[in-house]
Structure 1
């Protein structure tokens, strides 16, 4: 079973998003409708084990970084159960 997972990871193409990336992006778009930018990257090679997320949103204004990250974790509560790791980068749009 592990070998199949490794093969799936090795076959990822950079030209398209994985189904996991699309699913996480949709959830974030729903939870952060005012986001200026959302980028989700599967950094496990396409397996869905680890993601890197960049979100730029006004909703983070006047919040500490830890609070911003807690907002993202809360939004992805169900998805995180299936992940091994998550890197979060948040920012506020420049005026």
Structure 2
């Protein structure tokens, strides 16, 4: 998923974490991309979902966070 998002969205930061305890059913995805400029949060999430649509089918849950490069403030929690 990470490489697909990096390439498709020309992202500067992508973090994909399995938050299901290792069974691969719940993921947290964070993406920073200039492709999000001028788009609503919903439109940004749709872009992410379109890239990983095949993988989403096997998931029970997904958390997506998106930022433009100007909005992104790295923290130690990433």
Normalising by the smaller structure, the TM-score range is 0.7 to 0.9
Specify which of 36, 43, 57 is matched with residue 19 of structure 2: 43
Unaligned runs of at least 5 residues, structure 1: 1-23
* Higher Rg: 1
Higher relative contact order (CA 8 A, sep 6+): 2
Structure 1 length as normaliser, TM-score? Answer: 0.70
User: How many residues are paired up?
Assistant: 71
1:64-83 matches, cutoff 5 A: 64-83=40-59
Q: List structure 1 segments (4+ residues) > 2 angstroms apart after TM superposition.
A: none
Structure 2 length as normaliser, TM-score? Answer: 0.85
Given the alignment of the two structures, is residue 87 of structure 1 paired with residue 67 of structure 2, yes or no?
no
